[in-house]
Structures are given as C-alpha cells and as structure tokens.
Structure 1
C-alpha cells in the first residue's frame, strides 16, 4: 500500500480523512473505471528507493524470470543459501549489512527486489505478486538453508507453499503477522472508499485466484512448526509487536524483542545478527 495513505493523528487529519472519503466516493460514482485505476495506482504503487547505498564487495546481480516478469537478485558469499525478502516500499539493499554477516558465516545470501520494487519489473505490488516472485526465485534453487523476511515480506514467506521452504528455518524481522487486519484498518483510517478498495482487491483475487480472506500469516506460522526467530521492536509503528509477542508463545518460535530501533533500523542491529546465528548454529 502506498505511503500516501498513511497520516498522522490529529484534528487536521480528521478533516483530511473526511475529504478523502467524500472525494473517493464521488469519483467512484461518476467515473467508476477511472476511479478504480486511480485506486490501484494509489494503493498498490510502492515507493521505489532512490537512496544510494554502497554495495558489499563481491555482490553479484542476476535477473531471474518469473511470472511477475524480471526480478533482480543479489548474491553474496558461498555455501548453503539463505534467501532474503524485503517488505513494502523496501529493497534488497536494506539487507546488505545482514548479507555480509551471512556470507562471513560461510553461507550464500540471496536477496531479491519484489515486483514494482528496486530494480525489478512491475507497476503494482501486493501479497499474491510477492508470493509469485518469491516462488520464481526459489524455482532457480536446488535447495536453501533458510529464509529471512522483513515486514510484509514475512507474510509473503509464510504464505508461500514452495517445497524449498519445507522444514527450513525462518528469520522474521518486524513481520506483519496480522496482515489482513492491518491492511483493512490502514485503508479505513485513511478515509478512502472501502467499496472502491474492495473492487481493487476483488480484481487481484480474480487475476491471481488468491482471496484476501485466505491470507493469514499468524495461522501459517502456528501450523508450520518450523524453527522460527522473530526480531521485533516493542515500539514498532508499522507492524504489531503484540502479534509477534503472541507468536513467541509457540514452542517453535523464539522472540527477540528490541527497543529504540523501530521498523527500519532493526535491519542493521546486532540483535538481528544474533537471531540469524541462533538459527544457523542450531
């Protein structure tokens, strides 16, 4: 979902929310087809990162063809492969510090830019497209050692049914485990027409044969019964720490709680490296 619909709380926000609601409902009523195209652009267009990031020495780029088009991958190191998937409006470059740690531990770190992100093809992003891209990358691997995912990427990994993931350890970083509730609440709080939003969701469901109601990362995590470490900041503003805390009560899940790192800085943290070490050394 586009960051354009996230707003701070306050009186001015309430006014803006009402204006957005009236405008989107009117647009939908007088020009339904155009309104849906506008909604797709607003709700499904991530922000492509334009930050210049120094690449690790030895990083190898390779384009992989998937059902979602050309997906850019980034490989570092040698040995068994750990696959890394980023979240909404993210990019593989966020994983560079962790990729260097993984490579130094004797593994290959393989990250990829999701559809409509980074250097990958695509106009729109959503969970069905994320899962299709992940599965396309996994198809190129004979086997993997484990998987790392940040934010919405956590829902992507938990939703995938690819055989490469069976029984493999999972490192989740600030995961959005309550994905559907998070999505619906965010759109509703923005003031955007829920009827118009539902039309966009219905179109995705038809095109991908993937119903929104079927997406349940919490349930997938509970039933997976594979070794999982969650690293999550207590004050995360974008992904529910409470959901991770609840998941941490599962016998196969270990929760590493952090403070003061938020949703993004946690990707460079020592706690994240410790989380990887717990899984890699088990």
Structure 2
C-alpha cells in the first residue's frame, strides 16, 4: 500500500508550484539562475542545491516571539550527538507535560497562543528551537536532528503526557513514535508524510532539470549515509499499521504548503489515527485562536488536571 501512497503524493507534487510568495519575480530569477548554472557548472550547482535543501530560512524574531520566550520558566540547552545544540523552553511549573514540536523554518514561540492556553489550563509545556531555527545556533538542520531532540527530551522529562507537532515536526514525531516513543495523546498538524515528496516539491518549485533532480537525490542519500534506503527510512506511513499509538491528525483544506493528500495517506496507513479536516485555516491553524487550537484542547481535555 505504501507504494500506492508514494505514487499519489509524487504525482501531486510534480505539478506543485508552491504558495503565492514562491511564484514571485525574485523566485523566477532564482530558477533562471539555477538553469544557467546547470549548463555551465552542473556539479557545483548540485552541491549548492543539496546544501540549500538542509538550510532553513531564519525567520526574524518578532516582539511576540520575545514575549513568549520571556514568559518561559526556564531556558536550557541540549547537545545532540553531532555536537549541535537545541534550545529548550519550559512554561508552567506543574501538571501534565506537553511537548510542542515546531516545523521547518519555524520556532517554539510560534505556538504562543497554544502555550498560553495550555498553561492556563494547568499543563506544563516544553518546546524547543532545533539547530538553525529560532534562537538555536547553526545554519543547517535535518530530520535526524529533530528526531533526536524529541527522543532526548522524552528521556530527560521522563516521558510526555501529550505531544503536539506541526508540519516537519509532525513528520519527526511520527518517526520517533515508530522508534518506540509513546504518549497518552498525540496530535499531528499539517505534516508532510512522504520523505521523497519533500524533494519532489523542492524540485518542482525551482523547476529543476531532471539531471539536477537526480544529483540532488544522490546528495541527500550521501548526506544521511544510507543510500536509497533513506526514502523509506523517514516515510511517515511506513510500518504504521502495527503501531497502536493513537493520534489525531489535523489538516486544513487551504494548506498550500503540505497538500491534503499526505494527511489522507497517513490516516489510511494508521488504523489508530483519526483525521479531522478543517477549512480556511491554512498551513498552521495553531498560530491563532480558532478551530485548530480548539481541536487540540478537546483532544487533550481528558489529561487536564
């Protein structure tokens, strides 16, 4: 069945051109530049594209981010196996523990509204900035680092009562679950589920020539050091049928970053999961009050002290 899901998602992203801001004149110039570089220096162009794949854009710190981080009861650091560090935030002093896992090019403080409501309802909240995100140092990151952060924090905190994970954080949390992590309540919001689909999407946005797509995939296979096995290794829906961890999957019909087909495939592959679709909330329905946060709170209500 996973091969069928692969085909559905690959086909959807081959036609993908990204959200409106990715179709700007500036991006068109970048596409043209890449094609010219490909004609002149194909090898260095492939290396550049591979490096950029693991390099998130650093989102500017806004006043609201500073306020959210300033309300943290503690700010600490954890060191990963590759010596990079992640920043860890704690909000609330007692109650059930909830881990928040942010997405690619995001940060813990983007959960500001959810953090506020959870603490008001008696939960402890733990969030992190992955390397190259938020206040964490570095220029590059990867799914391996996201997974390790989740696993380290799970051991450090003695487990979590709930995990709420958005986008790339959702893909990472699912991989942590497949590696043995368990929690009483798991919420996955707007998450990609097909690892190869991330590359197809990236290639479609930049309109990469076929040979550059092949070189990019080769770069990624070498980066992780496991060759072509990488495409199955991090797929969210691989092997989920035997996983009994319950989960709530939330996906919005207006999400133009992660297409709806990914959530549908994930729900079909995961018997213990339930898919709830929202409308008109976009890629991250947890950034503002409304149905997205309401669904999370309802799912966590049985844990509320």
TM-score, normalising length: structure 2: 0.77
Q: Within 2, Cα distance between the matches of 1:270 and 1:253?
A: 22
Contact kept? 1:146, 1:165, Cα under 8 Å: no
Distance 1:258 1:42, change over 3 A: same
> Matched residue of 2:22: which SS?
coil
Is 1:264 the counterpart of 2:264 in the alignment? no
Contact kept? 2:189, 2:251, Cα under 8 Å: yes
Identify the match of residue 202 of structure 1 among 221, 241, 244.
Answer: 221
Distance 1:117 1:207, change over 3 A: farther
> Matched residue of 2:122: which SS?
coil
Deviation of 1:121 after TM superposition, in Å, equals 2.9
Is 1:57 the counterpart of 2:105 in the alignment? no
Deviation of 1:22 after TM superposition, in Å, equals 4.4
Deviation of 1:234 after TM superposition, in Å, equals 0.6
Equivalent residue number for residue 274 of structure 1 = 294
> Matched residue of 1:165: which SS?
coil
Equivalent residue number for residue 44 of structure 1 = 54
The number of equivalent residue pairs is 272
The equivalences for 1:22-171 within 5 A come to 22-24=36-38, 26-28=40-42, 32=43, 34-35=44-45, 37-52=47-62, 53=64, 54-55=67-68, 57-68=71-82, 69-77=84-92, 78-161=94-177, 165-171=181-187
Distance 1:279 1:149, change over 3 A: same
Deviation of 1:210 after TM superposition, in Å, equals 7.2
Q: Within 1, Cα distance between the matches of 2:30 and 2:78?
A: 42
Contact kept? 2:34, 2:45, Cα under 8 Å: no
Equivalent residue number for residue 254 of structure 1 = 274
Is 1:211 the counterpart of 2:243 in the alignment? no
TM-score, normalising length: structure 1: 0.83
Identify the match of residue 190 of structure 1 among 186, 206, 217.
Answer: 206
Q: Within 1, Cα distance between the matches of 2:168 and 2:111?
A: 15
The equivalences for 1:3-14 within 5 A come to 7-8=22-23, 13=28
Runs of 4+, deviation exceeding 6 Å: 207-210
For structure 2, list consecutive stretches of 5 or more residues without a partner in the other structure: 1-17
Q: Within 2, Cα distance between the matches of 1:144 and 1:92?
A: 17
1:44-90 per-position Cα deviation (integer Å, ceiling 9, x unaligned): 11112213122263542111222242210111112221111111100
For structure 1, list consecutive stretches of 5 or more residues without a partner in the other structure: none
Q: Within 2, Cα distance between the matches of 1:256 and 1:196?
A: 38
Deviation of 1:236 after TM superposition, in Å, equals 0.4
